Structure 1
Amino acid sequence: FLIYLEQVTHFFVPTDDAFKKLGLQNAPDNLLSNKEGLSVLLSHFVKGRLYDRDIKNNTTLTSLSNRTLHIIRKPGTNGTVEGANIIEKEVFVYNLGTMFYIDSVIFGSEIPEPVTETTTAGVPPTTTVRDTELTVESGTYPDALLE
């Protein structure tokens, strides 16, 4: 992924609320690491630095996942990319490129469902459990969490 960022890039960045709309606010960190997830992630990046003046009605851009992104921009608006509203534009990131914040995840319906696994583990046979270990307070400093 980092090889893509070695060049000046434009980012369409979904807000936290965009991920919440998809129910992904508590998704595991590796959710976008499989083939489909990585394709969705790379769909938010375009080679080169884009400015507000580049976001024109009926413009198409090619993302780093080699997908075509359709821009719609009506007079007096920031525009949309694949239906996601651009809510903040031209946020400059030093020498990496520019960010435009959007209110939806582009191609978000293609993100695989998060898999949650529940495991239960018993006490390993070589472990000794001592009742006092959890109840006896040692140390001389007060507990910062209880203050």
Structure 2
Amino acid sequence: MTADGGLISNPDNKASNGVVHVVDQVLYPLPFDTIANEVGMVDELYELSKVIEKAGFGKILSDDGPLTFFAPTDDAFQKLPSATLQNLLKNVTALEDVLSYHVVSGVYYKAGISNGEELRTLQTGTLECHVNRTSGSEPQVKINNAKIVGFAVPALNGAVHMIDTVLFPPK
């Protein structure tokens, strides 16, 4: 069980005025904006913001949700061969397919993802989750071959996880 992405390590502790659940991280107030706008405020997602704008994908990331967006970082885009990125930028349909493959319905946080779990994407494909949990440390989570890096970014309509690799739907 999680609360806003934090693993509930000790639930249901009775107190005189209610119940206390111990979580493994600091919880922050509700986010102020949608996934589309939250992505635009993260420095490491500058290239992604440009790609989203080029594809007109912001509307999907502003929908009610709930959604989880596995967002490739600038470093992830740098790993692509330049010809691949240039071809994507010339083909909006292919670009939309790639971006849709990074979005799943529902809100998922690292602490609540199970090893081997499959998440259905908006692109009608699936993403396979690989989780390595070691005692006392945060789980290492990969989505297909992309490692989740940094902290989750909560949004009004879901959550954003930065990943170190651009994912491509199966052909």
TM over 0.5: yes
Moved more, 96-105 or 84-93: 84-93
State which structure, 1 or 2, has the greater radius of gyration over its C-alpha atoms.
Answer: 1
Distance 1:5 1:41, change over 3 A: same
Q: Does 1:100 align with 2:161?
A: yes
TM-score, length of structure 2 as denominator length? 0.54
Compare the two structures and name the one with the higher helix fraction. 2
Distance 1:86 1:35, change over 3 A: same
RMSD: 2.8
Gaps of 5+ in 1: 111-147
1:52–1:89: 8 Å Cα contact kept in structure 2? no
In 2, distance between residues paired with 1:20 and 1:50? 26
**Identity over aligned residues, as a percent?**
31
In 2, distance between residues paired with 1:55 and 1:80? 10
Deviations 1:6-49 (A, max 9, x none): 1221110111010010035xx56x71753322111101111111
Q: Which residue of 2 aligns with 1:131?
A: none
Q: Does 1:13 align with 2:71?
A: yes
Q: Does 1:68 align with 2:130?
A: no
How big is the shift at 1:61? 0.2
Deviations 1:93-132 (A, max 9, x none): 2x1211111100011897xxxxxxxxxxxxxxxxxxxxxx
In 1, distance between residues paired with 2:168 and 2:60? 22
Q: Tell me the matched-pair count.
A: 109
Q: Which residue of 2 aligns with 1:91?
A: 153
> SS where residue 79 of structure 1 aligns?
strand
